[in-house]
């Protein structure tokens, strides 16, 4: 049987769609393989998420025929392990790498200095600065070590040897690099050019590509003469996952997620069945743990925050008129200020505004919750058998001591806990025993005298 006219039309549309996809893929592939300058943006703290992004982007640039890779930086520094991972990938790159401190107003501090020295070509935009490369020692858990003078000297000497090695391999000023490590010196873009710390000053990426055109650099496969004048520029951005992981690795963001996540779990435990606070709180807490795992955490600060939440919960379970809540607020504020070690890395400090805002918000929340719990415990029940205590009814049979009473619109089995109650007398509910009410003779209410 031949296909219908509609069937032919559908087949034709599908074929045209597939041809369009193939053509688009072919055009995209041919464009990707054409010469271009790949730009990688290193903006913020150098951490594992940033190192993963740079590694992936350099690999993409190598695979798609990039002529040069420009790592545009504005960083206060970061973790030594992440910095070294980036530098190792730069040195192994088959494509020449340019470290470019930009835009105007940017800086390359701490780890940024090492990355700049590792690139085949170093450049800065006007009104930028570079320096302050003194090392911060972290242990395997990411916690800052309190080093002795001997240990400090060893770590500093290791960092000096590392950056001098990079300087010698790239033909840059090794003496200034050592001063940046030992004394945390800083210089401007023009001073960096005069002292042969960088190769060129450029206001933007196009002018940078024009200025480095014709330079000869060394890559693992040999020397390469750059042909970058007028080269097309393609930005290699972070993937959504990389961007998300980089954001939650920010100290302030990780701190906020930790607080909100713990609060969500507490709310779920205090109100079982809500589900959403527990799910969201658990996700926030996991994200916070990832972020904090990349930072130099002070365990004393983390324990103080945990202790604060225990005090908050204890005041809900057994209210103490706010004494435990007050202790929790003090513990939370102190733990928050101690959470991140920032003695030699002030850029990792948690925002004081975030600490103050969260402390006030948690205080208001738990004061409200504790108050609600206390009020609910003092309030007489209004529903169920417990809510019938104190209600007035009438005996439908004689209670001697058992019988039937009519209370709250229904007949109940009842037992008089005092003397015999005659049929028709008023009774007051004083308790319950299973499905049986405990009653007594109601005290008659005197009518007010009218004169």
CA torsion, ordered 235, 240, 246, 252, to nearest 10 deg: 120
Distances (CA, A) of 208 to 60, 195, 215, 310, 330: 22, 19, 12, 56, 53
| Cα gap 246→290, rounded to integer Å | 10
154 is a catalytic site residue: yes
Stated length of the chain: 451
Q: Which residues of 75-106 are buried (b: 16+ CB within 10 A; e: fewer)?
A: bbbbbbbbbbbbbebbeebebbbbbbbbeeeb
Q: Active site residue: 110, 249, 259, 416, which one?
A: 110
Residue 302: in which H helix or E strand, if any? helix 299-317
Pull the structure tokens for residue 31.
């464009």
**For residue 182, what are the contacts with CB-CB under 8 A and spacing of at least 6?**
134, 156, 160
110 is a catalytic site residue: yes
Q: Active site residue: 29, 154, 203, 271, which one?
A: 154
Pull the structure tokens for residue 326.
């007050």
CA angle 292, 297, 301 (to 5 degrees): 110
Sign of CA dihedral 190, 192, 194, 200: negative
| Cα gap 30→37, rounded to integer Å | 15
* Contacts made by residues 225-230, CB under 8 angstroms, sequence distance 24+: 226/67, 226/68, 226/96, 227/35, 227/67, 228/37, 228/67, 228/68
**For residue 84, what are the contacts with CB-CB under 8 A and spacing of at least 6?**
none
| Cα gap 304→302, rounded to integer Å | 5
**Annotated active-site positions, please?**
110, 154
């Amino acid at each position: 049987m031949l296909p219908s006219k509609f069937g032919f039309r559908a087949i034709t549309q599908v074929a045209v769609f597939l041809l369009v996809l193939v053509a688009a893929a072919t055009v995209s592939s041919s464009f990707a393989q054409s010469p271009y300058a790949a730009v990688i943006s290193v903006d913020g703290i150098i951490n594992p998420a940033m190192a993963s992004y740079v590694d992936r982007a350099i690999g993409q640039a190598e695979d798609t025929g990039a002529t040069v890779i420009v790592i545009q930086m504005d960083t206060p520094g970061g973790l030594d392990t992440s910095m070294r991972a980036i530098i190792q990938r730069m040195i192994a790159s088959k494509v020449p790498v340019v470290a470019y401190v930009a835009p105007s107003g940017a800086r390359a501090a701490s780890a940024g200095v090492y990355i700049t020295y590792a690139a085949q070509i170093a450049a800065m935009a006007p009104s930028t600065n570079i320096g302050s490369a003194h090392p911060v020692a972290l242990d395997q858990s990411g916690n800052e070590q309190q080093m002795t003078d001997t240990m400090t000297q060893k770590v500093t000497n290791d960092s000096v040897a590392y950056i001098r090695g990079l300087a010698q391999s790239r033909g840059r000023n090794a003496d200034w690099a050592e001063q940046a490590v030992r004394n945390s010196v800083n210089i401007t873009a023009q001073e960096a050019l005069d002292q042969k710390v960088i190769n060129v000053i450029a206001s933007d990426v196009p002018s940078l590509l024009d200025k480095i055109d014709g330079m000869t650099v060394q890559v693992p496969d040999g020397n390469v003469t750059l042909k970058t004048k007028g080269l097309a520029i393609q930005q290699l951005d972070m993937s959504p996952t990389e961007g998300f992981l980089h954001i939650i690795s920010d100290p302030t963001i990780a701190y906020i997620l930790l607080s909100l996540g713990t609060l969500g779990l507490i709310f779920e435990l205090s109100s079982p069945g809500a589900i959403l606070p527990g799910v969201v709180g658990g996700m926030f807490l996991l994200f916070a743990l990832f972020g904090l795992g990349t930072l130099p955490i002070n365990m004393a600060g983390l324990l103080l925050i945990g202790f604060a939440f225990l005090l908050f919960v204890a005041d809900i379970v057994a209210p103490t008129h706010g004494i435990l809540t007050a202790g929790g607020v003090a513990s939370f504020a102190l733990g928050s200020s101690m959470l991140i070690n920032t003695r030699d890395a002030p850029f990792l400090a948690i925002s004081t505004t975030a600490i103050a805002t969260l402390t006030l918000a948690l205080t208001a929340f738990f004061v409200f919750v504790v108050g609600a719990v206390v009020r609910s415990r003092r309030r007489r029940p209004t529903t169920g058998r417990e809510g019938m205590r104190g209600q007035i009814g009438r005996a439908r049979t004689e209670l001697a001591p058992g019988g039937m009473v009519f209370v709250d619109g229904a007949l109940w089995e009842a037992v008089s806990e005092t003397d015999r109650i005659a049929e028709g007398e008023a009774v007051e509910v004083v308790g319950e025993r299973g499905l049986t009410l405990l009653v007594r003779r109601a005290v008659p209410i005197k009518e007010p005298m009218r004169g």
